[in-house]
Amino acid sequence: MANKRIDDATGVETVGHEWDGIEELNNPLPRWWLWTFYACIVFAIGYCVVYPAIPMVKSATAGTFGWTSRGALATEMKAADASRAGLRAAIAATPVEQLGADPKLLRAAIEGGRAAFKVNCVQCHGAGAAGAKGYPNLNDDDWLWGGDIATIHQTLEHGVRQPGDDATRMSQMPAFGRDGILTAAQVQDVVSHVRVISGQEKPSASAQRGAKIFAENCVVCHGANGEGNRMVGAPKLSDAIWLYGGDRATLTETVTNARYGVMPAWGARLDPVTVKMLAAYVHSLGGGEAAPAPAPQAVAAPAAATAPQAK
């Protein structure tokens, strides 16, 4: 039980507890300290009244200020949108190929595109836009359809192989093996030829036979020397970059069955400003090409006026 006493040395009363001979003096708090404590209590009561504080069965008490964390977030998002409104309007008013004329606007577009890319594109193209098998690496200098900003924008807007979109990117490679156009042996010969022109194999009898088959079947799209054709999305075959793989097995599969990659038409999914920003971002990744020399006004079919890039 409490054993209060007056401590001799200080003349102060003890609190009455004792632990192994150690006692505690009952020195009073300074008054301002006490008032601070009372003020904290008053503040806490006021806080509980005006802000959501007390947990109930379904949610907390609402609080008279009507503050909610969702509401606060909505306000912040609105403020952020408002602060971006000017830039977005400027981007909306600028044709995509003119974005580069204003470095500040281009910078804003690239940063906006970086954010949009992380939400919409990384699933296929990867966080660093380095692509994967079947999904192009956007950092390099090899483009199926063209690497200037307007062409990238066109590809983004209309997608690849999107039904119902007249301007969509559509390449049609026959399934040479599966559809019986070439025999399995002929396919192997073509593969040999392609591996020779891309510098992966030494010339061989198979490759010579393949060159002939290539000239008969492939040059229409891929060009006499395998240089590709961006108008029809035919990849360059003589370079070091392979979308699906340049080894014999993968090439055999590609020639036999053909490949039909797809990409959504982002124009139908995102607002025009975001698509423009994505184009600016992809163009900025290191492989972006300069706009082609002034060409006649491009008409609906983009292939009509755009000369193949002399890369």
Q: Which residues bind another protein (CB under 8 A)?
A: 6, 10-13, 26-34, 126-130, 137, 139-142, 199, 236, 239-241, 284, 286-287, 290, 311
Residue 79 C-beta: closest distance to another protein, Å: 17
Where are the alpha helices (H) located in 54-170, listed in sequence order?
69-93, 103-120, 122-125, 149-158
Asked whether the beta carbons of 131 and 143 are under 8 A apart, the reply is no
- How crowded is residue 107: how many other Cβ atoms within 10 Å of its Cβ? 14
Nearest Cα to Cα of residue 146 among 228, 89, 75, 67: 228
C-beta closer to another protein: residue 19 or 33: 33
């806490």: which residue's tokens?
44
Residue 170 C-beta: closest distance to another protein, Å: 23
Residue 233 C-beta: closest distance to another protein, Å: 16
d(CA 108, CA 101): 13
C-beta closer to another protein: residue 56 or 310: 310
Retrieve residue 21's tokens.
């001979």
Residue 51 C-beta: closest distance to another protein, Å: 23
Residue 17 C-beta: closest distance to another protein, Å: 16
Nearest Cα to Cα of residue 64 among 46, 49, 54, 45: 49
Asked whether the beta carbons of 273 and 99 are under 8 A apart, the reply is no
C-beta closer to another protein: residue 123 or 297: 123
C-beta closer to another protein: residue 3 or 26: 26
C-beta closer to another protein: residue 52 or 308: 308
169: β partners: 160
